[in-house]
């Protein structure tokens, strides 16, 4: 709580123009953090879907006909030749051959990593949101104060 009080005291020392700049900067940072949270949630969801697909794939016999996704909306006909071996996209166009359990472990580790980062970002975003609210309150108070001192 003492930290917040010192932040409010520092904010209160700024003039209206400086407060506006700080408010814009904090809101911009908050927007970036919120975009990052959305991206992390999306990535975690994709890894969860991949993990479920691996579990489904493990139940399929060799020789099974299936559709292979090439993009989000383009699929090609294919045949499952070795259900025990998969290619894992590790980013920037690199793929690694892994067994199904190794692939599932990879997905689970990524999900855990992303959720930990998500939790950290939620804390940072909450702190930025509090700062933005404090700056806005001080700015409004100073604007009210300046308007009452300029009135005849």
**pLDDT, tens only, 11-29:** 878 888 888 898 899 999 9
Nearest by Cα to 86 from 75, 108, 69, 101: 101
Say if 49 falls within a structural domain. Answer: yes
CB 14 within 8 A of CB 24: no
Tell me what the pLDDT averaged over the chain comes to.
Answer: 88
0.85 surpassed by pTM: no
Main-chain dihedrals φ then ψ at residue 13, nearest 5 degrees: -75, -15
Residue 41 lies inside a defined structural domain of this protein? yes
Radius of gyration of the CA atoms of the chain, in A? 26
Nearest CA to 138 out of 6, 4, 14 is that of 14
In a domain, 81, yes or no: yes
pLDDT > 90? residue 99: yes
Question: Is residue 102 included in any domain, yes or no?
Answer: yes
Residue 26 forms part of a structural domain: no
Structure tokens at 116: 């930990």
CA distance 12 to 7: 9
Q: Work out whether strand 65-69 and strand 85-91 pair parallel, antiparallel, or are unpaired.
A: unpaired
Q: What is the CATH number of the domain that holds 126?
A: 1.10.287.370
Domain boundaries, position 71: 31-144
Q: How many domains does the chain have?
A: 1
Residue listed under structure tokens 């953090």? 33
What per-residue confidence (pLDDT) applies to 18? 87
Q: Is 107 domain-assigned?
A: yes
Q: Is residue 130 part of a domain?
A: yes
pLDDT tens digits, 103-137: 999 999 999 999 999 999 999 999 999 989 988 88
- Residue 72 maps to a domain: yes
């Amino acid at each position: 709580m003492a930290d917040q009080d010192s932040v409010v005291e520092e904010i209160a020392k700024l003039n209206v123009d400086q407060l506006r700049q700080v408010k814009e900067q904090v809101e911009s940072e908050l927007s970036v953090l919120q975009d990052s949270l959305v991206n992390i949630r999306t990535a975690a969801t994709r890894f969860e879907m991949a993990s479920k697909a691996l579990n489904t794939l493990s139940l399929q016999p060799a020789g099974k006909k299936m559709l292979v996704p090439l993009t989000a909306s383009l699929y090609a006909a294919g045949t499952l030749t070795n259900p025990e071996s998969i290619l894992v996209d590790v980013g920037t166009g690199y793929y690694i051959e892994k067994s199904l359990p190794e692939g599932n472990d990879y997905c689970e580790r990524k999900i855990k990593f992303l959720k930990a980062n998500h939790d950290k970002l939620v804390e940072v975003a909450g702190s930025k949101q509090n700062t933005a609210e404090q700056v806005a309150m001080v700015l409004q108070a100073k604007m009210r104060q300046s308007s009452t001192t300029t009135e005849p």
